[in-house]
Amino acid sequence: MRLILVGPPGAGKGTQAKRLVSQLNIPHVSSGDMFRAAIKNGTELGKQVQEIMKQGHLVPDEVTIKMVIARIKEDDCESGFMLDGFPRTRPQAEALDAALAADDLSLDAIVLIEAADEVIIERITGRRTAPKTGAIYHIKFNPPPEGVEVTQRADDTEEAVVQRMKKYHAETAPIIPFYEAKGLLKSVNGLQTPDQVTEDILSVLGVRKS
């Protein structure tokens, strides 16, 4: 099964990605991970990406797409894959679609984890981390024990989260109608428990939980 997992920041994509690749027995293909691996391994593509990033520029779509296509042609992706972090924009979605078609490949589904902005903001801004243990808490839903010192990440402040949400709506959300028009979009309610979200995703994909 060939999937793309999308949703706003804080909707639980990371949690569901781990569960889905395990349930479906397919590799998790993350564009961010691929960039880091290419740079670490000193490949030609990695050197190109590193130079682009050094100059403070975004990696061009054609470079990212080339890397993604090369990755999903590897043997472990023969029975499927789950793309995470790509495509992030409508032009990337269109380019990916064309690149897949050129290789006689197609996507099976795009899973959208839905959650309202105000809930996302409450989720993220309430997160706290205990520096000594690495444990993650939430001031409302899972408060730290008394006496445990916690800190808030810089990108979890309300100002930072609002900016991330604006970027999501401006850049990534437009891929949703693109895939909906193709009949590939499957939406689930991200405000449920992680277990319920996983069950709903497997249900809309027509997969029986193992």
pLDDT of 100 higher than 70: yes
Rounded mean pLDDT, 81-100: 90
Q: Which residues contact 96 (CB under 8 A, 6 or more apart)?
A: 65, 68, 86, 87
Give me the phi and psi of 174, to 5 degrees please.
Answer: -60, -15
Do the domain assignments include residue 188? Answer: yes
**Total length of the chain:** 210
| Structural contact between residues 82 and 26, judged by C-beta atoms closer than 8 angstroms | yes
Do the domain assignments include residue 149? Answer: no
User: Using one digit for the tens of pLDDT, what is the confidence trace for 107-160?
Assistant: 999 999 999 999 999 999 999 999 999 999 999 999 999 999 999 998 899 999
Do the domain assignments include residue 162? Answer: no
Question: Which residues participate in catalysis according to the annotation?
Answer: 13, 88, 127, 153, 164
Do the domain assignments include residue 96? Answer: yes
Question: Distance (Å, rounded) from C-alpha 7 to C-alpha 159?
Answer: 20
Q: What CATH number is associated with residue 26?
A: 3.40.50.300
The tally of domains found in the chain comes to 1
Do the domain assignments include residue 131? Answer: no
Do the domain assignments include residue 190? Answer: yes
Cα first-last separation, the chain: 16
Residue 170 is given by DSSP the state I
Domain, as residue range, for 85:
2-116+172-204
Do the domain assignments include residue 155? Answer: no
Token pair listed for 42? 């000193």
More confident call, 113 vs 79: 113
Do the domain assignments include residue 153? Answer: no
Token pair listed for 117? 């902005």
